[in-house]
């Protein structure tokens, strides 16, 4: 790679990211042939003694965050790979709860660049291999891998993982996975391994999921059957697996359904954990962009809900915690999402929409969103999430609340803007 003619202000990491975006024909290119060649060449297929791979339409990030917090409380060294990021690429790779510095990423990219030879890799394949290299270099005990898209053909599936997890199943990414829930279930179940635990946190999944587990003789654990949970009060819940029960667990900030799945995955991994580690981890677990509250007047809530499934959960939580409150909603989405149904689900929260265009090949315009918005007046269109958010702030009354929703891009741009304001204030 030639670094000549790079502007002085451009960081070495950004130079690499720009390069990776330019070297392959498609940003998303499902298939394991190319990435497997490079992973095996670099001996990257087993980056830690224990690896848990997590697929699902929604809930991957929060499931990994809760497992991470519990494992760290137990004294394990933990690596987490997730995507996409909100603000910085560095968010995608965490070791022991912290982002790694730019230099760690650039060194890993340099290693993969040399290793790949003439093998063409997509951005995500390259990023996945670099993350595996960094986990290997840091000698972590446990790696938690978040699947990028689907499962069977996702780059993370080159890894020899010990436990497979499906958090939830819904129609999403229709351009790549189609709109048949049985096909989607089969694609996500493609991460299952013969003779190893396969956890499903989706109640009543499509038949293709247990069928595939049965076909390859995976150890299948289904919520509602082999494990389950129930609320015992507003602040406590009980988890059960067979005759084993954990009682009086604290209700986490992150979705309880994903805590249920996380505990089964950790149990199946047979790691050395105590009840105290679980309680502490559930209390401590947080994830930016998931029901994230920004204090101030008016109060702002950031959530990356970007499909009907995640929007339903968000509406239920907001209705529970803020009954009878109306929100000013800043929304920006990608055009390959179910925009119409997502907006329909969010509609009970607001009459004040602030639709924004996003940038990039997959971005939907504000005009596209406005086709489905119901309002007493035609809402103004905004060129970017920050301008939409500024307008919502300016028009809000002190007791109003603002919701920023629809995409990682929407939430990320507003979060970065707010962080910049906080820095300036201090």
Count CB-CB contacts under 10 A for residue 287: 19
pLDDT of residue 150: 80
Beta strands in 23-160 (DSSP E): 50-55, 78-81, 93-95, 98-99, 142-146
DSSP state of 302: E
pLDDT in tens, 72-131: 999 999 999 999 999 999 999 999 999 999 999 999 999 999 999 999 999 999 999 999
Give the integer Cα–Cα distance in Å for 73 and 77: 10
User: Which DSSP string do the residues of 175-217 spell out, in sequence order?
Assistant: HHH-S-HHHHHHHHHTT--TTSEEEE-SSS--THHHHHHHHTT
pTM: 0.92
CA 141 → CA 72, 80, 188, 241, 417, distances in Å? 10, 11, 25, 25, 36
> Over 80: is that where the pLDDT of 345 sits?
yes
pLDDT in tens, 202-220: 999 999 999 999 999 999 9
pLDDT in tens, 394-410: 999 888 999 999 999 99
Which one is the CATH code of 12-284: 3.40.630.30, 3.40.1190.10, 3.30.720.200, 3.30.470.10?
3.40.1190.10
Residues paired with 166 in a beta bridge: 55, 200
For 292-425, give the CATH class.
alpha beta
Instruction: Identify which of 390, 388, 393, 394 has the alpha carbon closest to the alpha carbon of residue 373.
Output: 388
> Over 70: is that where the pLDDT of 177 sits?
no
Residue 227 phi, psi dihedral angles, 5° rounding = -150, 160
Q: How many CA atoms lie within 13 A of 89 on its CB side?
A: 23
Computed over every residue of the chain, the mean pLDDT equals: 91
Reduced to 3 states, what is the DSSP secondary structure of residue 27?
A: coil
Domains of the chain by residue range: 12-284, 292-425
Reported as a pLDDT band with limits 50, 70 and 90, residue 425 is low
What is the distance between the terminal CA atoms of the chain, rounded to a whole angstrom?
40
Reported as a pLDDT band with limits 50, 70 and 90, residue 149 is confident
Residues near 118 by beta carbon (within 8 Å), at least 6 away in sequence? none
Give the integer Cα–Cα distance in Å for 265 and 165: 7
Q: Do 12-284 and 292-425 fold alike per CATH?
A: no
The whole-number average pLDDT for the span 230-243 is 94
Positive or negative, the CA dihedral 12, 17, 18, 20 is positive
Residue 247 phi, psi dihedral angles, 5° rounding = -115, 160
pLDDT of residue 5: 43
Does the bond joining 298 to the residue before it have cis omega, within 30 degrees of 0? yes
């Amino acid at each position: 790679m030639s670094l000549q003619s790079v502007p002085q202000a451009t960081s070495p990491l950004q130079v690499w990211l720009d390069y990776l975006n330019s070297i392959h024909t498609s940003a998303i290119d499902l298939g394991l042939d190319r990435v497997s060649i490079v992973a095996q060449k670099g001996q990257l297929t087993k980056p830690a003694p224990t690896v848990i791979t997590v697929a699902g339409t929604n809930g991957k990030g929060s499931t990994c965050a809760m497992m991470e917090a519990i494992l760290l409380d137990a004294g394990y060294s933990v690596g987490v790979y997730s995507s996409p990021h909100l603000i910085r690429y560095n968010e995608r790779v965490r070791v022991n709860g912290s982002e790694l510095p730019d230099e760690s990423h650039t060194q890993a990219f340099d290693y993969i660049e040399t290793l790949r030879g003439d093998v063409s890799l997509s951005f995500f394949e390259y990023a996945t291999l670099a993350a595996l290299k960094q986990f290997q270099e840091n000698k972590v005990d446990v790696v938690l891998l978040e699947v990028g898209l689907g499962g069977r053909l996702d780059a993370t599936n080159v890894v020899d993982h010990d436990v497979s997890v499906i958090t939830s199943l819904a129609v999403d990414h229709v351009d790549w996975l189609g709109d048949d829930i049985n096909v989607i279930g089969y694609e996500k179940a493609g991460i299952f391994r013969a003779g190893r635990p396969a956890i499903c946190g989706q109640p009543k999944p499509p038949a293709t999921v247990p069928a595939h587990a049965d076909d390859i003789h995976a150890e299948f654990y289904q919520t509602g059957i082999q494990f389950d949970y129930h609320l015992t009060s507003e602040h406590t819940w009980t988890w059960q697996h067979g005759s084993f029960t954990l009682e009086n667990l604290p209700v986490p900030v992150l979705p309880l359904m994903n805590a249920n799945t996380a505990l089964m995955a950790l149990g199946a991994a047979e790691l050395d954990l105590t009840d105290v580690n679980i309680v502490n981890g559930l209390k401590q677990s947080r994830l930016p962009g998931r029901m994230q509250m920004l204090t101030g007047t008016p109060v702002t809530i950031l959530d990356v809900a970007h499909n009907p499934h995640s929007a339903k959960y968000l509406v239920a939580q907001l209705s529970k915690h803020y009954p009878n409150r109306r929100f000013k909603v800043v929304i920006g989405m990608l055009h390959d999402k179910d925009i119409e149904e997502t907006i329909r689900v969010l509609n009970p929260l607001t009459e004040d929409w602030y639709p924004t265009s996003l940038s990039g090949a997959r971005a939907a315009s504000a005009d596209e969103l406005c086709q489905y918005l119901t309002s007493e007046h035609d809402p103004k269109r905004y060129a970017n999430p920050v301008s939409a958010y500024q307008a919502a702030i300016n028009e809000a009354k002190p007791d109003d609340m603002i919701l920023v929703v629809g995409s990682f891009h929407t939430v990320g741009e507003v979060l970065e803007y707010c962080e910049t304001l906080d820095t300036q204030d201090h």
